[in-house]
Amino acid sequence: MLSFDESSIIPEELKLALRQMGFEKPTDVQSQAIPAALEGKDLLVSSQTGSGKTVAFLLPLVTQLIKNKDLMGLIVVPTRELAMQVRDVLLDLTENSRTITGVVLVGGVPMNGQLHKLQRGPKVIIATPGRLLDHVRRRTVNLKKVSFCILDEADRMFDMGFINQLKEILAQLPAQRQNMLFSATFPPAIKKLAQEVLKNPVEISMQKVQAAPVEIEQSVLEVTHASKNDEILKTLNATEGSALIFARTQARADRLARYLNSYGVKVALIHGGRTQGQRNRSLSDFRSGASRVLVATDIASRGIDVPHVAYVVNYDLPQCPEDYIHRIGRTGRAGQKGQALSFITPEDKKAWAWITGKGSSEGLNLAPRRQKGRPSSGRPSFSSGGKRKPNNRPKRNDNRRSATQSTRY
């Protein structure tokens, strides 16, 4: 499929919505996945982050729901943020198809609002495994009506320990249904799950996850644990544009956010220990530019699509090459240029060698620029095209306040 308009199966209101969303031609994964899905085939898809896979599964799903109003779709995702992103794309796609209603079932928000929406009979359920099972066990949702089951970021759900919950959910579904499984990697448990769930699937494999997007300029900075905070301030002070900074744990993310906030940096914060309202507010502030910096754990490495991220900083290294790719894939979106910087301590060198493929054949084929210390003018590789800021530390803000405030979704 070279264009959406050439398809006689896609309804005109969806073609109009795609044009309103700025989609003129399908991406590689969309051009392969959409026609196969529209034919009713099961899909097993491996695709790089930022490749357009959300539209790849939503467009065929909504097309079928428009044609048959008795059908129902289920989309299971690993995180609340990814659920909200899928919801947003669904809302845009159904702008001209008001009969397609949906509900988001995620933890961290009251059940009452979800119960009210479920009573209206939504055509699409977007859910994280834990909250979906809560509803199943309370008998507030009936999965026997599901005709389409989509598992997005299946490998991430496995990493987060959801594999048994997924199996319990799948056991509730009718035998006759169309399935689509999207996963960046295929560990043994996911391969086994795919064999159990999918029936003669069409396998689509795009660019390997080990290939870093060419739009992203990667570099490293050798630091010590004690110098990380100073270096992150220097990096922010020497550059312009929004920054997504990854920390290893919730506690480290909290401390880093407080530190940056104390020096007047407008910081938003996302990790699994925050309420859904806090996470929504943080993401909203970051998207709108109210907060220049988003500090996050790996919960933000997948499922957060913010087009204007100028650069990603690995304050702490990720656990594996795939997580590295998903982290840096938050910048350089939609063909734009992006920057990725990784802090490397002496203790990190073995892990970095593995990530870059120098310590294992499973690593990444990378040759990032390496430098020790920092030029006096700051880090020029992160310039966003505007005038560089002076390389001096901002004054500490004595009137500290939380980087984010709670809001209700």
Does residue 118 surpass a pLDDT of 90?
yes
Instruction: Report the C-alpha gap between 131 and 255 in whole angstroms.
Output: 29
Domain total for the chain?
2
Percent of the chain with pLDDT over 70: 81
d(Cα 279, Cα 244) in Å, to the nearest integer?
14
Q: What is the pLDDT of residues 286-320, one digit of tens each?
A: 988 899 999 998 876 665 667 778 889 999 998 77
pLDDT, residue 269, reads 93
In a domain, 4, yes or no: no
pLDDT 10s digits, 10-41: 999 999 998 888 887 888 889 999 999 999 99
- Distance, in Å, from the CA atom of 408 to the CA atom of 404, rounded to the nearest integer, reads 13
Q: Whole-angstrom Cα distance, residue 188 to residue 198?
A: 15
- Give residue 181's pLDDT: 95
CA 68 to chain CA mean position, Å: 30
Query: How many Å apart are CA 122 and CA 230, to the nearest integer?
Result: 50
Last residue of a domain, one of 180, 205, 230: 205
Specify if 220 maps to a domain.
yes
Task: Clarify whether residues 197 and 225 are in a common domain.
Answer: no
145 and 118 both lie in a single domain: yes
H or E segment to which residue 186 belongs: none
Whether residues 221 and 370 fall in one domain? yes
Pair (225, 190) in one structural domain: no
Residues 115, 31 share a domain: yes
Confidence grade of residue 172 (pLDDT, cut at 50, 70, 90) = very high
Lowest mean pLDDT: which of 49-58, 223-232, 252-261, 384-393?
A: 384-393
| Per-residue pLDDT band at 355 (split at 50, 70, 90) | confident
Indicate whether 224 belongs to any domain: yes
Q: What is the DSSP letter of 73?
A: E
Same domain, 95 and 196: yes
| pLDDT score at 336 | 67
Residue scoring higher pLDDT (381 or 222): 222
409 occurs within a structural domain:
no
Residue 49: what pLDDT?
A: 61
Q: Within this chain, do residues 196 and 222 fall inside the same structural domain, yes or no?
A: no
**Three-class secondary structure assignment of 25-46:** CCCHHHHHHHHHHHCCCCEEEE
* Residue 359 reports pLDDT greater than 50: no
More confident residue, 263 or 357: 263
CA distance 167 to 362: 29
- Bridge-based pairing state of the strands 73-76 and 124-127: parallel
In sign, the C-alpha dihedral spanning 335, 337, 343, 348 is positive
DSSP 74-119: EEE-SSHHHHHHHHHHHHHHTTT-TT--EEEE-TTS-HHHHHHHHH
Regarding whether 141 and 239 lie in a shared domain, the answer is no
What is the distance between the alpha carbons of residues 156 and 162, in angstroms, rounded to a whole number?
Answer: 9
Residue 38 lies in a domain: yes
Query: Over the chain, what is the mean pLDDT?
Result: 81
State the pLDDT at residue 379.
32
Q: Which residues pair with 148 in a beta bridge?
A: 73, 178
Mapped onto helix, strand or coil, the DSSP state of residue 82 is: helix
Secondary structure class of 144 (helix, strand, coil): helix
Higher-scoring residue by pLDDT: 192, 215: 192
- Asked if 407 and 280 count as a contact pair (C-beta separation under 8 A), the reply is yes
Q: How far is CA 394 from CA 94, 119, 208, 238, 376, in A?
A: 46, 53, 42, 11, 16
The per-residue pLDDT for range 67-104, each reduced to its tens digit, is 998 899 999 999 888 898 899 999 999 998 878 999 99
Residue 119 and residue 138: Cα distance in Å, rounded? Answer: 14
Q: What is the mean pLDDT of residues 261-282?
A: 88
Asked if 239 and 372 sit in the same domain, the reply is: yes
- pLDDT for position 327: 85
Which residues pair with residue 340 across a beta bridge? 218, 312
pLDDT for residue 251: 92
Domain interval for residue 282:
216-382
> For residue 352, what are its two tokens?
């970095």
Which band of pLDDT confidence, cut at 50, 70 and 90, is reported for residue 333? low
Please check whether residues 352 and 289 belong to one and the same domain: yes
CATH at residue 248: 3.40.50.300
Strands (E), 143-185: 148-151, 178-182
Note whether 74 and 143 are within 8 A (CB): yes
Q: What pLDDT, on a 0 to 100 scale, did the predictor assign at position 209?
A: 47
* pLDDT value, residue 276: 76
- Is residue 75 a contact partner of residue 152, using CB atoms and an 8 Å limit? yes
**304 occurs within a structural domain:** yes
pLDDT at 368 over 70: no
pLDDT tens digits for range 144-168: 999 999 999 888 888 788 888 999 9
Percent of the chain whose pLDDT exceeds 90:
46
Whether 169 and 258 share a structural domain = no
Which pLDDT belongs to residue 326? 78
Within 8 A by CB and 6+ apart from 93, the residues are: 14, 17, 18, 21, 55, 58, 59, 62
Average of pLDDT values for 184-208? 84
Coil/strand/helix, residue 393: coil
**How confident is the model over 341-369, as a mean pLDDT?**
70
Q: Of 205, 226, 251, which marks where a domain is finished?
A: 205
pTM value is 0.65
Instruction: Tell me which H or E stretch contains 66.
Output: helix 53-67
* pLDDT higher than 80, residue 112: yes
Give the residue-averaged pLDDT of 130-151. 94
Q: Evaluate whether residue 378 is within a structural domain.
A: yes
Both 144 and 278 in one domain: the answer is no
Is 405 a domain residue? no
Q: Is the pLDDT of residue 217 over 90?
A: no
| Stretch 241-245: mean pLDDT | 92
- Distance, in Å, from the CA atom of 263 to the CA atom of 108, rounded to the nearest integer, reads 30
